A and B are shown apart, each in its own frame.
Chain A
Amino acid sequence: MIPAQDVLAPAGPQAAQIHALWQLMLWMCTAVFALVVAAAWIAVLRRRRDVLEPLQGADTPAQSRRVARIIGIAVALSALGLAVLIVASIGTDRALAGLPHDDALHIELTGHQWWWEATYDSVDPSKMFTTANELHIPVGRAVIFTLKADDVIHSLWVPNLHGKKDLVPGRTATHLIRADTPGIYRGQCAEFCGYQHAWMSLLVIADPPDQYAAWEARQRQPAGEPPDAQAVRGRDVFERGTCAICHTVEGTRAQGKHAPDLTHLASRMTIGAVALDNTPANRAAWIVDPQRFKPGVNMPAHNLPAEELGALLHYLETLR
């Protein structure tokens, strides 16, 4: 399924409310535009001359009054139209604020240059888990994001679900969404955040509740023991090499906090914040030279011996 990223195809109540407002505005503004342009065009064409004619004498008081009255009516109608738009806008804003959020799923989302860290909250701390760049949510259930930024300002925007909200360092914001249709919704950072702003994307995958529950249960598990000798070797490379400085794989000694959590890497659809499909070949190319795909990204190139790289890739494949 190709992920959607479209304001005009709302998949939840927030986006739907805004879409209704958009349609009202679109039609009202189109009508006003047509009227004004037509009036200006007729004004020029009706008594058009090819040369600069002699000046016209002053208007009679009656003429002036008539023109002033027409302008007055046009201004009054404009003000009325604006009042309608203001009321509609504030009404939509209130409706958005009033959408239900009982039994909401809480996710703490942190923006980093240039990826997203998502920690799924739970009253039971042992049930909390962390993932990156791909968020599953249950269809029909409200989700409350707690938004934070770690370095510069980012902005969360998943247009099929809701408008954007900024992630500002030193501040905490919340954002309420709900997906009513299952699907894969793509989002993208909407506040310029440096070199790789263009490739700072995320996927929100709205699953039916039972599928979501299964995914959530899997995410809570740490990585299992490597199934074979090559995978053990790969984990060794991961833990002793530079990977573990930045990345975490739960259940291992790799506990770096500067880059995406890779505990369930192989279960994701993409890597590099939705920059590449998550295939073994792409993973290999990314590890060897991430700058090729995302110049300026904070992950260095890795000139690993072939044996180590093979073992590492084999190990990553086991992280499901």
Chain B
Amino acid sequence: MSTHALGESDRAFERAGDEDHTADLPRERAGLWGFLTTVDHKRIGVRFIVTAFGLFVLAGILAALMRLQLAVPENSLIGPDRYNQIFTMHGTTMMFLFAVPIMEAMALYFVPLMVGTRNIAFPRMNAYAYWVYLFGALMIYVAFILNVGPDAGWFSYVPLAGPEYGTGKRSDFWAQLITFTEASGLLVAISVITTVFKQRAPGMTIERIPLFVWAMLVTMFMILFAMPAVMVGSTALILDRLVGTHFFNPAEGGDALLWQHLFWFFGHPEVYMIFVPALGMVSAIVPVFARRPQVGYPAMVVSLIATAFLAFALWVHHMFATGIPDMGKGFFTAASMVIAVPTAVQLFCWIATLWTGRPALRVPLWFVLGFFFILVLGGLTGLMLASVPLDLQIHDTYFVVAHLHYVLIGGAVFPLFAGFYYWFPKFTGRMLDERMGRWNFWLFFIGFNVAFFPMHILGLWGMPRRIYTYSAAMGWGTLNFVATAGAVTIAVSVLLFIVNVVRSARHGAPAGPNPWGADTLEWWLPSPPAFGNTQSIPVVASRTPLWDAGIVGEVRGLSASPPEVLVTSGVDAHADHRIAFPTPTIWPLLAAIATTVMFIGSIFTPWAVVWGSVPVVITLIGWFWPSRAETRRHRALEKPPPQVEEKQREHARV
């Protein structure tokens, strides 16, 4: 597509970006050294997105292998040992290495742009978070290729993953992968939360924060509260396996169900960590294509927060079959159903926005419509699973496989694709091809439903999950074959998307700063934004600053070297002070390498924790070691208030 399809009035938005906000920005180092040392949130964000998407494709290939194995009964393509590794890797990759990281990555790239700041808070830590994530992913795939991939499922239930039944190092690699991704996730969460609270453009009060940023803020808080539970769990698992503690061993007073509580106390909120950012993306896209502001902004924000709270109150619905006291069953059933309310509120607000707007049915909106269809279906089967008696029948069957793919692909992957089409011009300065985009959408939508809808029926016909084959007499062959055909269609669609990205990145129509005539601050900057984003910080006076002339001024005078950032107050975003940000450095990479050596070493010997921490400490010291030149520049930029200067002079006299 090209910009000529825009209405005349859109030119007004484009003009907003014509001014040069980048004249006096710091310059990024080029070449390999620049690549390894960068602390720019956009470069790291893109890197994160590309890595996570690559892992999505890898896990998709694993899914295709599973579908080929199951296409016909009693197939001998893949044996049980490899199959168990494949489905474990598929789930682990999708949940830990794709879905949560890609949402974090979208936050890394867009939150600073949307709140109008020059970089993410704690940029070095952020660079470190990426490297740790990358090395964790490399570790688990090397293990898988060497046929020592984890094989106890992405949930790693003990005792199957414990020392007695999960022999070898397979489950240790899994548990250590959790450590890697948790470390990475927590650091990103801290960065994003700090950015939202302290670096918003002046005037972006708490009721003017874009819904996308709200969604990311809520998600990052969920990460902070949920991930420690699985960290405790995976650490206890490693200790059981490596040094012979008995946290989960019933024979020695441990408890196998303790693992499930710890895992799902994280695992269920995790679903919402994936879903809530997607809600933010939909909220960013719907008003732009409906050509009007979002209906019910306060209700949308309250719904996001309510979803996050409720998400912590329903982990037990993964454990109904283990036997739960009656009182607990009623509570967790009710909580699991009530969480549908905030989602319904948002859904109705989007529909109202479209209803009262003049929707332009472009590819991002097609994917949002796909999201409505698939997510609502998946949400409704979720209500069925929330009911204890019905759950006892369909739990751990293909019905659940269908349900979870409806909510995760419908609830996260469709919005992500909508987001890719919507924000691709911001990443690259070029539009994705609209016609290929429609093919991409329709193949994905049809392929998805052909692949996953029959699984509901298979589950009701008695097909359990995680079986590598089934008897021909069961009568599951036809629907499994259909599902495999659907999976192939999805693969074609994703391939088409990759072709579209590669072609459009070079030959796509130039986009300009704001090709969709959108409302939020990322569209105020050139596409792609320069290193350092913006020389002057916008002063914001509305919720949709690019729509109603909501940029009422600019804060100038921030230093380029060292790069300074404007810090504002948490609620009202009053300009508070400016601080110099860290410069590019190799230390986060070195620290990540040292951390990786320690983590992987501790799979094999507990002493790695002792000796491995020495290089980690050394690299952290290097990381924070002040340079004289930098300190001098910082001092020179400091302008103490007059009375302080007075005191300093007095002090000097004494």
Where the two chains meet, the residues of A that have a C-beta atom closer than 8 Å to any C-beta of B are: 2, 5-8, 15, 17-18, 21-22, 25, 29, 32-33, 36-37, 39-44, 46-56, 58-59, 63, 67-68, 70-71, 74-75, 78-79, 82, 85-86, 88-90, 92-93, 96-97, 113, 151-153, 155, 157, 159, 162-166, 168-171, 173, 186, 188-198, 295-296
Residues of A close to B255: CB separation below 8 A: 170
B384 in contact with A29 (CB, 8 Å): yes
- Among B77-85, B416-424, B613-621, the stretch that binds chain A is B77-85
Residues of B close to A159: CB separation below 8 A: 393, 462
The chain B residue sitting closest to A78, CB to CB, is B344
B352 in contact with A67 (CB, 8 Å): yes
B337 in contact with A58 (CB, 8 Å): no
Residues of A close to B250: CB separation below 8 A: 169-171
* Most-contacted residue by chain A among B81, B365, B380 (CB, 10 A): B380
Residues of B close to A97: CB separation below 8 A: 326
Q: Name the prevailing secondary structure of the B interface residues.
A: helix
Min C-beta distance of A75 to chain B, whole Å = 6
A43 in contact with B373 (CB, 8 Å): no
Residues of B close to A89: CB separation below 8 A: 333, 386-390
- Confirm or deny: B237 has a beta carbon within 8 angstroms of a beta carbon on chain A: no
Residues of B close to A58: CB separation below 8 A: 293
Given contacts A70-B352, A78-B341, A152-B160, contact A168 B460 (CB under 8 A): no
Instruction: List B residues 1-47 near A (Cβ within 8 Å).
Output: 5-10
Residues of B close to A47: CB separation below 8 A: 357-359
- Confirm or deny: B348 has a beta carbon within 8 angstroms of a beta carbon on chain A: yes
A89–B389 alpha-carbon span in the complex (Å): 7
Min C-beta distance of A154 to chain B, whole Å = 10
Residues of B close to A168: CB separation below 8 A: 256-257, 322
Min C-beta distance of B499 to chain A, whole Å = 25
- Confirm or deny: B633 has a beta carbon within 8 angstroms of a beta carbon on chain A: no
If A43-B352, A53-B360, A152-B160 are given as contacts, then 14 extra A-B residue pairs at C-beta distance below 8 Å, sorted by A number, are A15-B393, A22-B393, A33-B377, A43-B355, A48-B361, A67-B295, A75-B341, A82-B341, A163-B390, A163-B392, A164-B396, A171-B256, A192-B160, A197-B467
A5–B473 alpha-carbon span in the complex (Å): 11
A42–B352 alpha-carbon span in the complex (Å): 11
A153 in contact with B256 (CB, 8 Å): yes
Where the two chains meet, the residues of B that have a C-beta atom closer than 8 Å to any C-beta of A are: 5-10, 79-81, 84, 152-153, 157, 159-160, 164-165, 250-251, 254-257, 288-289, 291-293, 295-296, 299, 321-323, 326, 329-330, 333-334, 337-338, 340-341, 344-345, 347-352, 354-362, 365, 369, 372-373, 376-377, 380-381, 383-384, 386-397, 459-462, 464-470, 473-474, 516-517, 547
Residues of B close to A70: CB separation below 8 A: 352
Given contacts A18-B389, A22-B393, contact A53 B358 (CB under 8 A): yes
Min C-beta distance of B283 to chain A, whole Å = 15
Choice from B334, B369, B517 contacting A52 with Cβ under 8 Å: B517
B464 in contact with A36 (CB, 8 Å): no
Min C-beta distance of A111 to chain B, whole Å = 12
Q: What 9 pairs across the A-B complex have the smallest Cβ distances?
A: A170-B250, A163-B392, A5-B462, A198-B467, A54-B9, A89-B387, A29-B380, A43-B354, A43-B355
* Most-contacted residue by chain B among A56, A59, A79, A113 (CB, 10 A): A56
B360 in contact with A51 (CB, 8 Å): yes
A67–B357 alpha-carbon span in the complex (Å): 12
Min C-beta distance of A294 to chain B, whole Å = 8
A6 in contact with B349 (CB, 8 Å): no
Given contacts A50-B360, A56-B357, A171-B250, contact A22 B352 (CB under 8 A): no
Min C-beta distance of B449 to chain A, whole Å = 12
Residues of A close to B292: CB separation below 8 A: 55-56
Min C-beta distance of B536 to chain A, whole Å = 25
A92 in contact with B389 (CB, 8 Å): yes
Min C-beta distance of A59 to chain B, whole Å = 7
Given contacts A58-B293, A165-B323, contact A74 B390 (CB under 8 A): no
* Most-contacted residue by chain A among B333, B350, B396, B517 (CB, 10 A): B396
A41–B359 alpha-carbon span in the complex (Å): 11
Choice from A63, A74, A196 contacting B344 with Cβ under 8 Å: A74
A93–B462 alpha-carbon span in the complex (Å): 21
A164–B459 alpha-carbon span in the complex (Å): 13
Residues of B close to A193: CB separation below 8 A: 160
12 interchain pairs (CB within 8 A)? A6-B460, A7-B460, A33-B380, A36-B376, A49-B360, A51-B5, A53-B291, A75-B344, A92-B387, A93-B389, A163-B393, A192-B396
A44 in contact with B361 (CB, 8 Å): yes
A191–B322 alpha-carbon span in the complex (Å): 10
Residues of A close to B390: CB separation below 8 A: 18, 21-22, 25, 89, 92, 163
Given contacts A79-B341, A162-B392, contact A192 B376 (CB under 8 A): no
Given contacts A75-B344, A151-B165, contact A163 B321 (CB under 8 A): yes
Residues of A close to B357: CB separation below 8 A: 47, 56
The chain B residue sitting closest to A30, CB to CB, is B380
Choice from B321, B362, B474 contacting A165 with Cβ under 8 Å: B321
Residues of A close to B257: CB separation below 8 A: 168, 171
A163 in contact with B391 (CB, 8 Å): yes
A44–B8 alpha-carbon span in the complex (Å): 22
Min C-beta distance of B101 to chain A, whole Å = 25
A151–B152 alpha-carbon span in the complex (Å): 14
Min C-beta distance of A313 to chain B, whole Å = 24
Residues of A close to B341: CB separation below 8 A: 75, 78-79, 82
Residues of B close to A63: CB separation below 8 A: 356
A204–B358 alpha-carbon span in the complex (Å): 60
Residues of A close to B516: CB separation below 8 A: 52
A39–B333 alpha-carbon span in the complex (Å): 28
A37 in contact with B461 (CB, 8 Å): no
A152 in contact with B547 (CB, 8 Å): no
B295 in contact with A52 (CB, 8 Å): no
